[in-house]
């Protein structure tokens, strides 16, 4: 069994090997217990500095990385775009170089442009963790999804997963598809055909346009957030129609397997892609995902910055 990741950075799940994914999941399993202690802190990353560089708004992911770093005793610094010199016109490269001059041990970056994390990773000597770049990848989200699925289903291999919604603009979908394929899972995507990229089959998924068909037989259903601004671009006619045709509700769920699990990366549009009773219902693991996110990010931070 391997004991470290081969790359200095975590930019996407596309570049991870199945062994590396397992190493992260197993490490996260050990990390999870720490969050249930009275004293939720271990000294592993004492003296390390982690910078959260967020060019896009985020509550869950930024807080999750911050808590993960702090539970490992790292010093975590948050930079959000509205209060930073980026607002004064500094380039990404200059910001990166200036941060590097302060000797951080890891930089966690979220950016609206695909490839931003890779660009920064080439400039910086320290590990860079992609917390979401454009429509490209969001690897820690996929890893926490796998962790949550494995916790419930014990085994990943052979599971049928349906990812439903705006596949085209979703970095969560992309990271999940790469990772799930590597773990031997069987991925189907569904949603309005305007939001499903042409040729998506080439990265190893089935396309099923009828959502009800995608729900049937699935062990795991991942609902994606529909970004309301997409409607203005004419990609779907109305929120109401989207909800009726593609939203997950109790009625559609009648076609699902008895032990189906339902996940959503958040933030949810209740009543649009997922109805409130399903989101809060017995099959939903949405809050488990959030809990597990901290453990998975602790694992990633420790594997990339601990004892290197």
Binding site for other proteins (CB under 8 A): 1, 3-4, 23, 26-27, 29-31, 33-34, 37-39, 41-44, 72, 299, 302, 306-307
CB atoms within 10 A of CB 165: 30
Residue 281, C-beta contacts closer than 8 angstroms, at least 6 positions apart: 250, 262
Pick between residue 1 and residue 102 the one whose CB is nearest to other proteins.
Answer: 1
Question: Closest approach of Cβ 74 to other proteins, in Å?
Answer: 12
Contact 303, 27 (CB under 8 A): yes
Contact 255, 111 (CB under 8 A): no
Pick between residue 39 and residue 102 the one whose CB is nearest to other proteins.
Answer: 39
Question: Closest approach of Cβ 144 to other proteins, in Å?
Answer: 17
Pick between residue 37 and residue 122 the one whose CB is nearest to other proteins.
Answer: 37
Contact 143, 304 (CB under 8 A): no
H/E element, 239: helix 239-246
The answer, yes or no, to whether the previous bond of 27 is cis (omega within 30 of 0) is no
**Burial label, 107 (beta-carbon count in 10 A; 0-12, 13-18, 19+):** buried
Pick between residue 29 and residue 118 the one whose CB is nearest to other proteins.
Answer: 29
Contact 211, 218 (CB under 8 A): no
Question: Closest approach of Cβ 267 to other proteins, in Å?
Answer: 31
Pick between residue 42 and residue 239 the one whose CB is nearest to other proteins.
Answer: 42
Question: Closest approach of Cβ 3 to other proteins, in Å?
Answer: 5
Contact 115, 133 (CB under 8 A): yes
Question: Closest approach of Cβ 157 to other proteins, in Å?
Answer: 21
Pick between residue 37 and residue 97 the one whose CB is nearest to other proteins.
Answer: 37
Contact 211, 217 (CB under 8 A): no
Question: Closest approach of Cβ 33 to other proteins, in Å?
Answer: 6
């Amino acid at each position: 069994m391997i004991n470290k990741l081969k790359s200095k950075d975590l930019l996407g799940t596309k570049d991870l090997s199945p062994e590396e994914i397992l190493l992260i999941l197993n490490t996260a399993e050990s990390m999870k217990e720490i969050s249930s202690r009275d004293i939720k802190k271990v000294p592993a990353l004492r003296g390390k500095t982690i910078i959260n560089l967020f060019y896009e708004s985020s509550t869950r992911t930024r807080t999750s990385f911050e808590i993960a770093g702090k539970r490992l005793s790292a010093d975590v610094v948050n930079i959000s775009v509205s209060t930073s010199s980026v607002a004064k016109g500094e380039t990404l490269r200059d910001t990166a170089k200036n941060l590097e001059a302060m000797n951080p041990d890891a930089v966690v970056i979220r950016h609206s442009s695909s490839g931003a994390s890779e660009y920064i990773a080439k400039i910086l000597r320290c590990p860079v963790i992609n917390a979401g770049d454009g429509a490209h990848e969001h690897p820690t989200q996929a890893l926490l999804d796998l962790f949550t699925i494995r916790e419930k289903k014990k085994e990943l291999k052979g599971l049928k997963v349906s990812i439903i919604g705006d596949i085209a603009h979703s970095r969560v979908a992309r990271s999940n598809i790469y990772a799930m394929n590597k773990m031997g899972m069987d991925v189907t995507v569904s949603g309005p055909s305007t939001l499903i990229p042409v040729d998506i089959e080439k990265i190893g998924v089935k396309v099923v346009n009828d959502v009800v068909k995608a729900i049937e037989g699935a062990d795991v259903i991942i609902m994606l957030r529909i970004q309301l601004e997409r409607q203005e671009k004419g990609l779907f006619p109305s929120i109401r129609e989207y909800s009726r045709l593609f939203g997950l509700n109790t009625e559609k769920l009648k076609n699902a397997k008895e032990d189906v699990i339902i996940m959503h990366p958040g933030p949810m549009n209740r009543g649009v892609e997922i109805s409130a009773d399903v989101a809060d219902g017995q099959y939903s693991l949405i809050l488990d995902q959030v809990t597990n996110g901290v453990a998975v990010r602790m694992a990633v931070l420790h594997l990339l910055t601990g004892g290197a």
